[in-house]
């Protein structure tokens, strides 16, 4: 007659984990947490990074549209409205009076981004736009920008800069350290 203890696969050993196995697993989890947790960041850090990447992607889109259509495309910024839009064949005029291009993905919508209305970017502010003194950058038919410049985005805990290189038109993002 059996004494009522379970054995693991006929080894004669009771099933379950030993104290040593549990301690090893806990130590591995603690090491993983120590590595991962500092890299997570805060919600405002994530918002600023997301806004910078979105803006960089939209600047690249304006550049690619200029190359593809062989027509200049301008990204106009309005720091007071906390928004920007892509315009084809910009010939001057105020931000409000200028119509954005049709959005290439969303049917029936114009390509204008207002940060407060954009999902997950409500706390992000445009604090500086500088393209040779203008709040706009135009990409010509070859994809070259009218001037080099930067856009600074800020949340409560973080500042990000989106830069457009003068000669190549390449767009990059980086965190601003205080």
* Structural domain of 151: 43-176
pTM of the full structure:
0.74
Q: What is the model's pLDDT at position 1?
A: 47
pLDDT in tens, 72-130: 999 999 988 889 999 998 888 888 888 999 988 889 999 999 888 876 777 888 999 99
pLDDT interval class at 67 (50, 70, 90) = very high
Judge whether 111 lies within some domain.
yes
Q: Is 70 exceeded by the pLDDT of residue 10?
A: no
Query: Within a domain: residue 24?
Result: no
The answer to whether residue 13 is domain-embedded is no
The answer as to whether 84 is a domain residue is: yes
Give mean pLDDT, residues 19-44.
80
Residue 112 lies in a domain: yes
Percentage of residues in the chain having pLDDT higher than 70: 87
How much is the pLDDT for 38?
A: 63
Report if residue 95 sits inside a domain. yes
Q: What is the mean pLDDT of the chain?
A: 85
Give the CATH number for residue 149.
Answer: 3.55.40.10
Instruction: Flag whether 97 is in a domain.
Output: yes
Give one DSSP letter per residue of the chain, joined into a string: ---S--BSTTSSSBSS--HHHHHHHHHHHHHHHHHHGGGT--HHHHHHHHHHHHHHHHHHHHHHHHHHHTS-EEEEEETTTTEEEEEES-----TTTSPPPBPSSSTT-BSEEEGGGSTT-TT-EEEEEEBTTBSEEEE-TTS-BSS-EEEEEE-SS-EEEEEE-TTT--EEEEEEP-
Say yes or no to pLDDT of 7 above 70.
no
As for how many domains the chain has, the answer is 1
């Amino acid at each position: 007659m059996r004494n009522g203890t379970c054995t693991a696969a006929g080894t004669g050993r009771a099933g379950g984990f030993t104290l040593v196995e549990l301690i090893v697993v806990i130590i591995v989890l603690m090491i993983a947490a120590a590595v991962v947790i500092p890299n997570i960041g805060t919600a405002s850090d994530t918002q600023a990074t997301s806004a910078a990447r979105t803006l960089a992607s939209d600047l690249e889109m304006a550049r690619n549209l200029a190359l593809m259509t062989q027509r200049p495309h301008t990204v106009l910024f309005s720091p007071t409205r906390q928004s920007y839009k892509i315009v084809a064949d910009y010939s001057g005029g105020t931000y409000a009076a200028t119509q954005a291009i049709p959005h290439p993905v969303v049917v029936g919508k114009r390509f204008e981004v207002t940060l407060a209305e954009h999902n997950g970017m409500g706390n992000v502010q445009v604090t500086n736009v500088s393209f040779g003194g203008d709040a706009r950058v135009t990409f010509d038919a070859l994809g070259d920008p009218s001037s080099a410049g930067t856009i600074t985005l800020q949340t409560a805990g973080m500042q990000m800069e989106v830069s457009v290189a003068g000669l190549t038109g390449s767009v990059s993002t980086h965190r601003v350290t205080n």
